[in-house]
Amino acid sequence: MNIREIRKQSGLTLEEVAESLDVAHSTVLRWEKAETSPPMKKLEALASLFKVTLAQLIDSPGSSTPPLPSNVVAIGRQPNMDAVTTVPEIDVRAGMGGGGEASVDYWHDENGNSFPRDAVKEQWQFPTEHIRVKLSTPPEKAVIIEVEGDSMSPTLHSGDHVMINTADTRPSPPGIFAINDGLGLVVKRLEFIPHSEPMTCRVSSDNKHHSEYERSAEELQVIGRVVWFGRKV
């Protein structure tokens, strides 16, 4: 038995499951095809929705359910340390100063985020468990972009590559994010301003020669949190 069979036995459609769990239809479809693993909270929600136990959902005989999430421990089952995830590098530069290059084409993710692109420039490979555990990022939500400019120096240099967790778009806690601030795609530090009305974020640089500024939450399009960077030596 697998997720698809359990869903059908429950009399639910893909759309009903997606709506109940607040995920995209395609996300549930990938779970059913064992292409990706549901996070632990979603597994628990699935089990509750299907009225089965978590063990029944995970360990059903003949199951094609994806492997256990990395934070689930089961006797005799270990994470697949050989699994590799291919992360796309989007061919758009995040300007850490004057903004990213303009384009008429946009890349979209399942969270409704988008940013300009020409094409997928490269394919990077990372151990899946490293992305999931060390970087706390769903592997299917990771993208890479190249950054330019000096506004985040010395933390980030022009030409660095950063991995973005597009599932993490809320600057709480504060951190470094890829954002579209209305002027272009930039990589900046982002934090909520407490008690602001309307809700406002402070956008700042690590290079103190660049001034910080504020944008309302409605003016900002947060692409995702920066969780990793790579630098040429």
Residue 151 contacts residue 188 (beta carbons within 8 Å): yes
Domain definitions of the chain by residue range: 3-59, 84-230
On whether the 84-230 domain is CATH 1.25.40.10, my answer is no
Q: What is the pLDDT of residues 178-195, one digit of tens each?
A: 988 777 788 999 999 988
CATH class of the domain comprising 3-59: mainly alpha
Domains 3-59 and 84-230 share a fold: no
pTM for the structure as a whole: 0.61
Tell me which long-range contacts 20-26 makes (C-beta under 8 A, separation of at least 24).
20/45, 20/49, 21/45, 21/46, 21/49, 23/110, 24/110, 26/110
**CA angle (42 as vertex; 86, 228 as ends), nearest 5:** 35
Looking at residue 77, the DSSP 8-state letter turns out to be B
Give the chain's length.
Answer: 233
**CB neighbourhood size of 217 (10 A):** 14
Q: What is the pLDDT of residues 12-45, one digit of tens each?
A: 898 899 899 888 888 888 888 877 777 777 878 8
Residues paired with 165 in a beta bridge:
142, 225
**CA angle (69 as vertex; 42, 179 as ends), nearest 5:** 70
Per-residue pLDDT at 102 exceeds 50 = no
